[in-house]
Amino acid sequence: MHTRFLRGYRPRYQRTKKMSYAAAAFPAFVILSIQMVLLGSALLAATTDETGRWTLEHVSRVFADPLFTRGVLYNVIIPVTSVALEALVGVGMAFWFMSVRRRKMLWRTIAVVPFALPEIVYLLTMKLLFREHGYLNSLLVGSFGGSEVIHWLEPGSAVLTGTVILIDAWRVTPFVFLLVLAALEQLPESYAEAARVDGASRWLVMKRIQLPLILPVLGVALALRSIDAFRIFAAPLVLAGVEGLPVLSTVAYHYRTDMNDIAGGSVVALLLTAFLMCGTAAVIWSFGRWRRVS
């Protein structure tokens, strides 16, 4: 009966399927075309001179700029550290949350607030908090005395890099936290119970049973975050300015807007695009490989 039902509806189902493919193909084609045009125009601007002749002068000029070199360096340091921190804190928070019994909704809301705020509002609030005469230094001076303040946002300093990583990670950790928490809540309680009956400690249950079971979800969350983290823009720009803590996107923005250098900006933007495409491919490949192996 069931088979007959399906067989009867198959042609219609297949027709709908074909139509949905066609419907999806058109916007995909349009979006891809626009992207190709944008990439093409950036490539043209980056590799031609004022007379339209082919040149690598813009590329060599950008590569010789210390701002660009620093941008590449920070574009690796910040995302890698930030994603690692998010994974650690997000998973930790999710496990802690599983043990919370009272006011669960309140804690969940508090945890999600940084992610729910508009990015610019969040970053400006953080700037007020961390600036030289900001709330945090006032609190520290008020609590511990003295007159020396910590220069959280001093351009070029390691403290600034740490502060930006912390602020960026804090904003998006709820994303990892929520996904991991959802995965944890879906796990049958019987697995952990069985392990506990066999004498496993809470740590062992977490390490040997729960963590391996949520790894696919954690992998997806971290893959998405890694791709997003390499596009970092607003946090270093608002908190430190372009020269204070350059990353590739802010360096491209600086060339384009402050220096009116379309060619230089295009070179950096193209490199960032290539960087992102390679990174995305690597993440997808390693995630697929890991799934096949596991």
Binding site for other proteins (CB under 8 A): 67, 131-134, 151, 153-156, 240-244, 254, 257-260
Q: What is the DSSP string of 219-276?
A: HHHHHHHHHHHTT--HHHHHHHHHHHS--HHHHHHIIIIIS--HHHHHHHHHHHHHHH
Closest CA to 167 of 135, 125, 134: 125
How far apart CA 56 and CA 47 sit, in angstroms, is 6
The CA-CA-CA angle for residues 234, 236, 242, to 5°, reads 100
DSSP 48: B
C-beta of 15 vs 202, nearer to other proteins: 15
Question: If DSSP codes are grouped into helix, strand and coil, which group holds residue 151?
Answer: coil
C-beta of 87 vs 238, nearer to other proteins: 238
Q: Which residue has the tokens 């900006």?
A: 265
C-beta of 97 vs 152, nearer to other proteins: 152
In the complex, what is the shortest distance from the CB of residue 11 to other proteins, in angstroms, rounded to a whole number?
A: 16
C-beta of 46 vs 153, nearer to other proteins: 153
C-beta of 222 vs 248, nearer to other proteins: 248
Question: If DSSP codes are grouped into helix, strand and coil, which group holds residue 232?
Answer: coil
